[in-house]
Amino acid sequence: MTQTVAHNTRLRLDLSYDGTNFHGWAAQPGLRTVEGTLGEALAVVLQRAVPITVAGRTDAGVHARGQVAHIDVASKELVRVAGRFTGAPTEALRSRVNKLLSREAGGPVRSSDVVIHEVSVVDADFDARFSALSREYTYRIATRDFDPLRRHDVLWLDAELNVPLMNAAAQLLVGEHDFLSFCKPREGATTIRELLDLRVVEESTTGLTCIHAKADAFCHSMVRTLVGSLLRVGTGKRSWQWPAVRLEERNRTGEVVIAPPHPLTLEKVNYPAESEWGARAAQARHMRGEG
């Protein structure tokens, strides 16, 4: 049971993970998840269970390079965690949790599939989920030579892609819309989102075709459905206007194409200035109908 602690200190956790061997972010009984694994390590170090609030709940197989979460701890707990550690208590917490995560992963020495890069003290107004302005994702595709060492984060597609047509289709989706046709709705939650950027880029350095998506927030499976729809256009199976038609239909009864999860990475979560954390969180809660 989670204990109530006095004199809370809010901590921001910046972390990344390889989603290959996780059943997504959210804790699930009997399954290995990022939240469950991270929570167990934190519980050992802090000597109690601690709730974790995350910027975005990634699906099974999806990776994160720039995930953000927050937890609340008592000041005395940080002092205890630091012990004889000569550095900052937050660094002591980061180091001890990372060692446990590496041990839990069971891979090569000094390796882990989830790593905390930084722990920082933030104001109580900061909310990893609701204070965020936007999230940025990248979906990576190989259409020519395939590097087997990238099999966990790149889709090998045995087909040429018409990138100009994909970009033409993408531009029709940018803006604030009801994305019901592109996501799995949750009861009582809105499917209206503001898609800030959606574009397809051919990278000369890697030889990969990358689909970049940025929005204030994404519904469940929204990025992968956007990608799947653009791939239908790129391979010539649908016209470049088709995704916009699906958008206007606002239903799940038409053709829904969800791309595989493993090539998708949460790259970055963007936040406003510190003075705006509380106002942004209140605004986002109201928009999402959660407070």
Residues marked active site are found at: 59
Q: Is 137 annotated as a binding residue?
A: yes
Tell me the HSE value of 87 on the side-chain side, using a 13 A CA sphere: 8
- Angle 188-190-196 from CA coordinates, rounded to 5°: 160
Distance CA 11, CA 127 (A): 10
Determine the Cα–Cα distance for residues 193 and 190; give it in Å rounded to an integer: 8
Contact indicator for 132, 193 with CB cutoff of 8 Å: no
The amino acid present at 284, given as its one-letter code, is A
Dihedral sign for Cα atoms in the order 149, 155, 159, 162:
negative
Whole-angstrom distance, CA of residue 165 vs CA of residue 172: 11
* Binding-site sequence positions: 137
- Residue ranges at the known binding site for substrate: 137
